[in-house]
Structure 1
Amino acid sequence: MSDELRPVWSALTYRVLRSAAWHPDRSVPIGDWESALREHGGFEIHDAARRFLTEFGGLKTDEWTPGPVMPQSPFRFDPRVAEGEGDTFAKLSQQAGTYLYPIGHADSGNSYLGMAANGAVYIGKDSVELLADTAYEAMEKLVMERRTDAPLPFVPAGDHLVLPHHPEHDLSAEIGARWSAETDRVLRLAGWHPGRSVSTEEWQRVLHEEDEGFEMHDAARRFLAEFGGLEINQQGPGRTMGRSPFRLDPLVAKWDFEIIDVQSEEVGTYLYPIGDASHGNFYLTMDANGAVYHGMDYVYLLADTGDKALEKLIEGNK
């Protein structure tokens, strides 16, 4: 879209788009989209939509879990979301007073995005409204301004989002210095609460029966008593790296004592499994001092304590 003056995006908008795989001079083929929309809906693309989709087509944030890098209105720039919706777009075009070509959806799929021949972007489903006069302004509004019916519980802070401070709901005294408010929120949603305590005996018994090399130490026992059994389902960009799901269940390594043993030799201290991350691609282990390690073929120190490890995993911090 070189003929359109690109405004200065906010730091968060720029980071959201870069995290979604956009980059300057990005260009993707759109022939298949044009054919599919023409066949299933009778849509005829105009130059403005062609330029937009060439640069932004395929970008999506609607599968990201709310976190530190997230648009206020999650979007997907893919015209195929409107396949078979020719009548719907005809109605929206009539309301807008101009022909709209579908370019995707926003509001987590609850609203269509359509573009006029002059590059203006409209949004809606049962009714339509002008979102912005240009595509670049529309990006800024989707990330920074547009609020859905269930807005994210975060507020912008430079190039990332943070939980807002509500004095009436201040948990700082309860949280103390353990972790951030965001980490606390995610853990509570997963089922953790202060004073949580679950039995670790079954995990200890099963692993030891599978291989006598599995010997649960006190640090792992304390950690699993408080956090064992929790699963965090998340995805999307984090503070310094992508966030991925993880589960705190030592039995994920039930048949892999040899792998854990090799990892222990690599770091020079005995490691006990406490869970896995990234859909089982990496084990989470803990040494007798409470330090948490992360890896499979290679292992590295994630954090010196279990609390810090949880915060890094949840916030996407290296």
Structure 2
Amino acid sequence: MITKLLKSEEIPEEWSPLTYRVLRSAGWYPGRSVPLDKYEIPLREFSGLEMHEAAREFLGEFAGLSTAAWTPGPLMPQSPFRLDPCDVNTDREGAAKIREVVLRMSDSAGTPLYPVGRVDDGESCLAMASDGSVYVGEHAELLARHAYAALEALGVERRTDAPLPFVLVGDHLELPSDFVATQGPDGSPRWSPETERVLRLAGWRPGRAVSADAWELAMREADDGYVMHEAARQFLSEFGGLEVHERGPGVNAARIPFRLDPSLAKWDFEIIESLSEDAEAQLYPVGDLSQGNFYLTVADDGKVYLGMDEVELLADAVDAALDKLVRGIR
């Protein structure tokens, strides 16, 4: 049967630190309890599926948690999941399809099952037997004998056709050491392999150089207080125009999408001026985070700052700042 709800911050013995962090980031916490009527009633009325006690206990603790929309990164399960037996607006037709899948799985498993979630981009059903065993897929492959072990299997054991060969390092994931990042002038990697991958997918490449003249002109036309210094020009020449859409938890902070385009701040010179005063540096906008909730700026000495109402030093150098943004580090 399912391990009882935790009453403290201890990690269940079945879980690795990575699985614990994944579930906490997805919204789970010890003692979590959610109502199940919105799932149970439509499935019972439209499909005749009755929720057994093991499924009720599991879903009461984990229903609604999902990692399906997370971008591959430092904190993610090997097998992204969505834990709910059905959509909250499931109609008769949708419930009938769920019933058909679950009955086929039950025949394969040799025991009645109840749906508890989906994996494989929604293509495979997770279903639970009354003894707490969890099965996955149309052929009812046994995932684990009880719920917490099943979550661990999804977290670190059940490998899927993931786009990256991540390896476990402590409580987070990294690309293997043989995936080498571009070297800087001193011969050391400019950033992590993961940042290299993300930036290349966004359109960056070693030696990339674009003209910053159009941005400079547009900013001066918007407000003649905008004077592009050399550090900002170098940044925009290499990274200007890139957009990164990473989402989900990172190493110790959320990974937030960011855009490297100074014109996003062209009508907010007063904000940039205020941030410059607080930072005691000449800041120039080079982009934003979280759809304009924060501006990304570069100082004339190359340091990178975040800010809107308040200013925060992100990193002393551009490469380190990009690495922090991509990997979710503050």
Same fold (TM over 0.5): yes
| TM-score in terms of structure 2 length | 0.91
| SS, match of residue 292 in structure 2 | coil
| Paired amino acid for 2:117 | G
Note closer, same or farther for the CA distance 1:262–1:122 as it changes in structure 2 (3 Å cut).
same
Is contact 1:123-1:129 (8 Å) kept?
yes
Could you tell which deviates more after superposition, 28-37 or 135-144?
Answer: 28-37
Match of 2:291 among 279, 294, 297: 279
Q: Which residue of 1 aligns with 2:240?
A: 228
| SS, match of residue 109 in structure 1 | coil
Distance 2:321 2:5 in 1: 45
Is contact 1:219-1:286 (8 Å) kept?
yes
Q: Which residue of 2 aligns with 1:212?
A: 224
Distance 1:271 1:124 in 2: 54
Match of 1:300 among 312, 315, 322: 312
Q: Which residue of 1 aligns with 2:65?
A: 59
| Paired amino acid for 1:69 | L
Q: Deviations over 1:227-279 (max 9, x none)?
A: 00000001111111111100100010021111111111221222110000012
| Paired amino acid for 1:107 | D
Match of 2:20 among 10, 14, 17: 14
Note closer, same or farther for the CA distance 1:196–1:114 as it changes in structure 2 (3 Å cut).
same
Q: Which residue of 2 aligns with 1:38?
A: 44
The list of structure 1 runs, each at least 4 consecutive aligned residues, that deviate by more than 3 angstroms after superposition, is 1-8, 81-84, 169-175
The offset of 1:4, in angstroms, is: 8.5
Q: Does 1:87 align with 2:100?
A: yes
Q: Deviations over 1:192-248 (max 9, x none)?
A: 110000011100000100100111100000000000000000111111111110010
Distance 1:311 1:54 in 2: 38
Is contact 2:183-2:190 (8 Å) kept?
no
The offset of 1:7, in angstroms, is: 3.2
| Paired amino acid for 1:130 | L
The offset of 1:171, in angstroms, is: 4.6
Distance 2:105 2:195 in 1: 42
Match of 2:127 among 103, 114, 131: 114
Is contact 2:181-2:189 (8 Å) kept?
no
Specify every segment of 5 or more residues in structure 1 that has no aligned partner in the other structure, as ranges.
none
Q: Which residue of 2 aligns with 1:315?
A: 327
Could you tell which deviates more after superposition, 51-60 or 90-99?
Answer: 90-99
Q: Does 1:192 align with 2:204?
A: yes
Q: Which residue of 1 aligns with 2:149?
A: 137
Specify every segment of 5 or more residues in structure 2 that has no aligned partner in the other structure, as ranges.
7-11, 88-93
Distance 2:183 2:240 in 1: 24
Distance 2:180 2:255 in 1: 26
The offset of 1:2, in angstroms, is: 4.9
Distance 1:313 1:83 in 2: 42
Q: Deviations over 1:9-45 (max 9, x none)?
A: 1111111111111111111111111112223432211
The offset of 1:68, in angstroms, is: 0.5
| Paired amino acid for 2:22 | V
| TM-score in terms of structure 1 length | 0.94
Q: Which residue of 1 aligns with 2:263?
A: 251
- Give the superposed CA RMSD: 1.8
Q: Which residue of 2 aligns with 1:72?
A: 78
Q: Which residue of 2 aligns with 1:160?
A: 172
The offset of 1:150, in angstroms, is: 3.3
Q: Which residue of 1 aligns with 2:9?
A: none
Q: Which residue of 2 aligns with 1:260?
A: 272
| Paired amino acid for 2:266 | K
Note closer, same or farther for the CA distance 1:202–1:173 as it changes in structure 2 (3 Å cut).
closer
| Paired amino acid for 1:113 | L
Q: Which residue of 2 aligns with 1:147?
A: 159
**Alignment: residue pair count:** 315
Is contact 2:181-2:190 (8 Å) kept?
no
